[in-house]
Chain A
Amino acid sequence: MKLILNEEQQFLKDTAKNFAEERTPVNHFRSLRDNKDSLLWDKDTWKEMVNLGWAGILIPEEYGGSNFGLAGISVILQECGKTLTPSPLFATGVLGAYAISEYGTEDQKKKYLPQIANGEITTAVAIDESSHHDPLKTNMPADLKNDSYILNGKKVFVVDGASADLLIVVARTSGEIGDSTGLTLFLVENNQPGIDVIKLDMADSRNYANISFSDLSVQKENILGDAEAGGEAIENILDIGRIAISAEMLGNTEAAFESTINYLKERKQFGVLIGTFQALQHRAAEMFCEIELTKSSIMAAMQGADDNSNELQRLASLAKTMAGETLHLVSNEAIQMHGGIGVTDEYDLGFYLKRARVVEQIFGCSKFHTERYANISGF
């Protein structure tokens, strides 16, 4: 496995870079936020992304996708991350597309994958039940009654949950909280009685929801993957998601860093450019090193996923830890080095800090993944 992009992946990255710079510069996000947009992403822009084939990158060709792989969609997210482009690409193009392509029955694939690829539906994964991500702590019951499962409980912080047409819900069909067995995944269409969606207002002004289920009946054919064996499937789906979101976080990091370096080269104090100060130069150089290490970790994780690496879990936790730690560092340093302008709402940099702290939590923060890395590594 080589830690470089192939031609196809580089092409996707270049296309995404142009798209983000021309169609979705940071002002695109700013106006959605200012207008208190109900979706917090733009339908027309999503349509353009779909037309570029991005929603189908993880979907096999026979279901309307291109099957370009995780590295392909991750580098697109990286470029989108640079301009804070909001879209359903992560929750739908990565999570939904991968989960159904990998674990769906023939009927499920035929029904949903073409609709994902052509942008007709968006998806979301409903997993967390508390403010700290931990799949094993899934407690929401799904009880079998007369060939149907009855779902009762509440899922929180569902990414894109405020608008998703199709939910992948993780529920407990047996065992106790903390058990890795006894979990089952359900495909649940969002527009039905028994589901209550409450839109969340988070610091990063993106689309999230808390979703409650009351006596929602789900038929057996809507189980995704094998009943009771959802624990393994959801970890795999989450790992794919963790790697992809890490790439988006890298894009956030790169943009905040670039802005900072440019600022050091133009801002004068005491009659000189502040970039001449060694106190700032050395911190900038240290950030550069951390970013390089983060790039390598994400590259290894996404290429590893496409290569069916047996180290996927470890690489995913490595990538999410490095992406989180580095974005955390750079978002803080960027603000400090920009001085007062960095803490004004008028300047874009604050958006990166707010996005950083929210995205750090998605599917496990650095501390969660550092511990997971240690567990997997055997210490």
Chain B
Amino acid sequence: MTQMDKFREETKQWLDDNCPASMRAGADPETPLDEVWGGRKAVYKNPESKIWLDRMGEKGWTMPTVPSEYGGGGLSKEEVKVLNEEMFAIGAKTPLLSFGIWMLAPVLLEYGSEEQKKEHLPKIIKGEIRWCQGYSEPGSGSDLASLATKAEDIGEHFMVNGQKVWTSYADKADWIFALVRTGPKEPKHDGISFLLIDMETNGVSTKPITLISGKSPFCETFFDDVKVPKSNLIGQLNAGWAIAKALLQHERAFISNFGLAAAVGSKKDLVSIAKKHIGEENGKISNGFYRSEIASHKIKEHAFGLTLQRAGDEGGKASATASMFKLYGTEHNKKRHELMIAAMGTDGVAWDGDEFDDSDKNLTRSWLRTKGNSLEGGTSEVQLNVISKRVLGLPS
């Protein structure tokens, strides 16, 4: 038996012993499902969600490639592949959703000091601390580097004042990784630092944002004379922009890995909606104009799915490809929702009340929510800029 066969056998056995029944495929559909993000304020509807997180966190298998000295699994790429295959085989649920894992941990590994890695990585991996991302500000959207939240040197601490916006789940998070201005006199890219802030510190407050679609995970985050220890600075003072960009790459890579699925909205099937609401004749959508638009859309969807697959097969991680996937995936998702609500006619714009099905009303909100897809994480226009400059090499 090879090393790898042995690892597979042990992994299989461990999963069999440790993955609770409700965390696997074929679980009782009556069991409540948690969206597990961990953290101090986490509430679990199903206690087995917590058990599963704790067991996987203890193994370090929520971040299997991170070295075990930082609480990770310390596995090789081949071993991770085996782990993923064995988890897939039993339909094991992802134990932890985490901005810490997707965004912060990779930059901590690259830019953090030894102490910072030892302090923060294990808590991310075990899901003990839930992180949020403090990037955008009311005056700094696409032009992120113009951000104005300031951190003044007051000796042992920074004094932070300002406001962040579009902070996903700020009201549920324990810590925030934030971009702050530490060099007000430097050129805008050279005066930014990357700072970790405990949300329980005095002067930090959050306020949820209501969107055109209704409730949302987004918040405004306010900093009023917030004292942050200097040891929470990642990398050098005023050298935060490089870290910010590195993190955005991880964010986009994460989005592109999820591809179409990353775009928030309804996963409803366009074709069955069209057949139900418009009607069908001999299996064909009965209105030819809708049918032709839907067919063109499905063809693009197919081609886009194959492009994600090809990028995986090529093993490329180019940021430019990530821009393409962000652009195409989100624009496609918007279009899909427009087609769905159009196919539903007046039911597609239902808002509230008993005259309409919940699923119809939800779709209206999903459609509205997709309008943000091509704004968040870099607008479509920013992605087009990235492609034209970095891929096509067009001049500035």
Instruction: Identify the A interface with B (CB < 8 A).
Output: 2-4, 261, 264-265, 273, 275-276, 278, 280-282, 284-286, 288-289, 292-297, 299-300, 318, 321-322, 370-371, 373-375, 377-379
| Residues of B contacting A379 in the complex (Cβ-Cβ under 8 angstroms) | 271, 274-275, 280, 283-285, 291, 294-295, 298
| Residues of A contacting B392 in the complex (Cβ-Cβ under 8 angstroms) | 261, 281, 284-285, 288
**Could you tell me the distance between the alpha carbons of A329 and B387 in the complex, rounded to whole angstroms?**
18
Rounded to whole Å, the gap between the CB of B299 and the closest CB of chain A is 5
**By the criterion CB–CB under 8 Å, are A281 and B394 in contact?**
yes
Given contacts A282-B388, A322-B299, A370-B296, contact A273 B310 (CB under 8 A): no
Rounded to whole Å, the gap between the CB of B301 and the closest CB of chain A is 10
Rounded to whole Å, the gap between the CB of A328 and the closest CB of chain B is 13
Shortest Cβ distance from B284 into A: residue:
A379
Q: Which of these, A3, A280, A374, contacts B295 with CB under 8 Å?
A: A374
Given contacts A265-B394, A288-B391, contact A282 B306 (CB under 8 A): no
| Residues of A contacting B394 in the complex (Cβ-Cβ under 8 angstroms) | 261, 264-265, 275-276, 280-281, 284
Question: How many A-B contacts are there with CB distance less than 8 Å?
Answer: 115
| Residues of A contacting B280 in the complex (Cβ-Cβ under 8 angstroms) | 379
A-B contact pairs, 13 of them (CB 8 A): A2-B313, A3-B306, A264-B394, A265-B394, A275-B395, A281-B385, A284-B392, A289-B324, A292-B324, A295-B310, A297-B302, A318-B302, A373-B298
| Residues of B contacting A375 in the complex (Cβ-Cβ under 8 angstroms) | 284
Rounded to whole Å, the gap between the CB of A314 and the closest CB of chain B is 8
Instruction: Identify the B interface with A (CB < 8 A).
Output: 271, 274-275, 280, 283-285, 291-292, 294-296, 298-300, 302-304, 306-307, 309-310, 313-314, 324, 327-328, 381, 383-385, 387-389, 391-396
Rounded to whole Å, the gap between the CB of A313 and the closest CB of chain B is 13
**By the criterion CB–CB under 8 Å, are B306 and A321 in contact?**
no
**By the criterion CB–CB under 8 Å, are A276 and B299 in contact?**
no
The secondary-structure label for the interface of chain A is helix
**Could you tell me the distance between the alpha carbons of A279 and B4 in the complex, rounded to whole angstroms?**
54
Q: Which of these, B275, B294, B298, B381, contacts A282 with CB under 8 Å?
A: B381
**Could you tell me the distance between the alpha carbons of A292 and B392 in the complex, rounded to whole angstroms?**
13
**Could you tell me the distance between the alpha carbons of A297 and B314 in the complex, rounded to whole angstroms?**
15
Shortest Cβ distance from B389 into A: residue:
A281
**By the criterion CB–CB under 8 Å, are A288 and B306 in contact?**
no
| 7 A-B pairs with least C-beta separation | A281-B388, A3-B310, A285-B387, A296-B306, A293-B303, A374-B295, A296-B307
**Could you tell me the distance between the alpha carbons of A264 and B307 in the complex, rounded to whole angstroms?**
27
Rounded to whole Å, the gap between the CB of A350 and the closest CB of chain B is 23
| Residues of B contacting A265 in the complex (Cβ-Cβ under 8 angstroms) | 393-395
Shortest Cβ distance from B310 into A: residue:
A3
| Residues of A contacting B295 in the complex (Cβ-Cβ under 8 angstroms) | 370-371, 373-374, 377, 379
**Could you tell me the distance between the alpha carbons of A174 and B396 in the complex, rounded to whole angstroms?**
65
Q: Which of these, B274, B307, B393, contacts A293 with CB under 8 Å?
A: B307
**Could you tell me the distance between the alpha carbons of A361 and B193 in the complex, rounded to whole angstroms?**
58
